[in-house]
Amino acid sequence: TVSIMEESSSTSTQKVVAVVGGGLVGALNACFLAKRGFSVEVFEAREDIRKAQIVKGRSINLALSHRGRQALKHVGMEEKIVSQGIPMHARMIHSLGGKQSPIPYGKKGQYILSVDRANLNKELLSEAEKYSNMKLNFDHKLKDWSAETGLMTFDRSDGSKQQIRADLIVGCDGAFSAIRKQFLRCGRFDYSQTYIPHGYMELTMPPVNGEFAMKPNYLHIWPRNTFMMIALPNLDKTFTCTLFMPFEEFEKITTGDEVIEFFQKQFPDSIPLIGVDALKRDYFRLPGQAMVSVKCCPYHIGDKCVLMGDAAHAVVPFYGQGMNAGFEDCIVFDEIMDQFSEDFSVVLPEYSRVRVPDDHAIADLAMYNYIEMRAHVNSKWFLFRKHVDNF
C-alpha cells in the first residue's frame, strides 16, 4: 500500500522541511529548523530509541568539544548536555610498562567532554518534540526521492510505503546516506569514499569497588604505532575502551588465550581492569567494525535538498570531530538562512560554497590524526603541541 501524506499540518505560508535521519545531527538540526518556524517532519528508519530495548549503533560514547557545544547552545541545550558529560582535561598516555603520563588538551581549565551517544540522541529527540510545528516519524526508511518534485518514498516495517512531498529535504541519514545516492546521478557531483585498513572494537572496563578503574577525567590512550586503544569514561563509572587495529590483526586472534596473549604484549595494565574472562568473551562478541571517510561536493541540489552531518562528510574518528562538525553544520546553515532570508535557492549554494572546504579540512585532519594518535603521540615533540579541540 502506498499512502500519500500531503502537507496537511502546514498552513499555506508555512514551508515543509523534511529532515531524513533522526540521529545526532538530524535531531539537532530539526530543533534549529523548528525554531525558525518551518513545519518540520523528521523521518527516521529506526524505531524510537527512547522506547527501544536495545539501541544498535556506533560508539557508546563520544567526545563533545567546542564546536558541538556552540551548536547545542543555539537551541538551549548546552547546559543540560554538559551536565551529563564527564570532562576530560588531558590525554593520559599509557606506556607499555604501565606508566601513565598526562598531556593536557590546552590551557588550564580547557577540556573536552565524554558524552553518552544514546542519551544525547534521546535528549535531542525529546527537545525536538517540544516544538508544536514538529513531527517525528519513526520506522520510516527513505527508499527513494525525486530531486525534481521533492517527493520521497518511505518503507515501513509492516511492508507498506508512504510518500510525502517537502519544500526542502535535509539529508542527515549518515555515512551511507540514501539521500546522497540521488546526488550521484546528478552531473558535476564529486564523490569519494575510502575505507581505512583499521577496524574498531569496543570493550567495557567495569568499576572497581564502585569507583572508576582509572582516573576518570582523562581520555586514556595506549598508542602502539600500528594500532592503539583508547578509553573514555561513562557516568556509570565504567570506561568504554575502543581498540583500533588493522583488520588482518583482528583476524589473527581466534581464541580467548590468544586475546590474553595479545593484551599481555600490548596493553598489560588493562588486563586486570577489563578482566580476563570479559576480555576472552567480549573480543568475540562482534567482529572489528569498518571505518569510512566520505568526501563530496556540492552538498545541495537546486533549492530542494541539502546534505549535513555524516551524509555530507563521514570522517574517521581519530580527530573526535565527526559529530562536532555535523553540529557545526547546523549553525552555519542557520546563519546563512538569516543572511539570505530563508530563500532556499540562494541559501543552499551558499551553504555548499562556505561549508565544503571546512568539512573537507576536518576530514583531512582526521586522517592525519589517524597516524598521529597511534604513533606520534609516542614521540617527544607531541608534548609541545597544544590542541584543545581534538583527541
Residue type, 103: I
Q: Does residue 88 contact residue 111 with C-beta atoms inside 8 Å?
A: yes
Set of cell numbers at residue 133? 510545528
Candidates 44, 123, 334, 350; binder of ligand FAD (CB under 6 A) is: 44
Provide the minimum distance between the beta carbon of 223 and ligand FAD in the complex, in angstroms, as a whole number: 17
| Strand ranges, E, within the chain | 2-5, 16-20, 39-43, 61-64, 86-88, 90-94, 100-104, 112-116, 134-137, 141-145, 151-155, 161-165, 168-171, 190-205, 218-224, 227-233, 239-246, 289-297, 300-301, 305-307
Would you say 166 or 311 has its CB closer to ligand FAD? 311
Strands 218-224, 190-205: pairing is unpaired
Q: Per CB under 6 A, does 174 bind ligand FAD?
A: yes
Determine which residue in the list 85, 199, 320, 349 makes contact with ligand FAD, applying CB under 6 A. 320
Contact pick of 58, 74, 280, 387 for ligand FAD (by CB under 6 A): 58
Q: Which of residues 176-205 bind ligand FAD (CB under 6 A)?
A: 178, 200
Neighbouring residues of 176: CB distance < 8 A, sequence distance ≥ 6: none
x/- string (CB under 6 A) for ligand FAD, residues 229-248?
-------------x------
H helices present in 156-234, as ranges: 178-184
310 part of the interface to ligand FAD, by CB under 6 A: yes
Q: Does residue 305 interact with ligand FAD by CB under 6 A?
A: no
Rule CB under 6 A: say whether 43 interacts with ligand FAD: yes
Separation between Cα atoms, residue 204 and residue 251, nearest integer Å: 20
For ligand FAD, which is the closer residue by CB, 96 or 290?
290
For ligand FAD, which stretch binds (CB under 6 A), given 31-39, 95-103, 167-175, 265-273? 167-175
* Distance separating alpha carbons of residues 146 and 203, to the nearest angstrom: 42
Give the nearer residue to ligand FAD in terms of CB position, either 30 or 93. Answer: 30
One of 16, 18, 19, 26 touching ligand FAD (CB under 6 A): 26
Q: Site mask, ligand FAD, residues 96-135, x = CB under 6 A?
A: ----------------------------------------
Q: Per CB under 6 A, does 172 bind ligand FAD? A: yes
164 touching ligand FAD, by CB under 6 A: no
All three cell numbers of 14, joined, read 508555512
The cell for 275 is 578482566
Grid cell in block for residue 69: 557545544
DSSP, collapsed to helix, strand or coil, labels residue 219 as strand
Q: Which residues contribute to the site for ligand FAD (CB under 6 A)?
A: 20-26, 43-46, 58-59, 62-63, 141-142, 172-174, 178, 200, 242, 309-311, 317, 320-324, 326
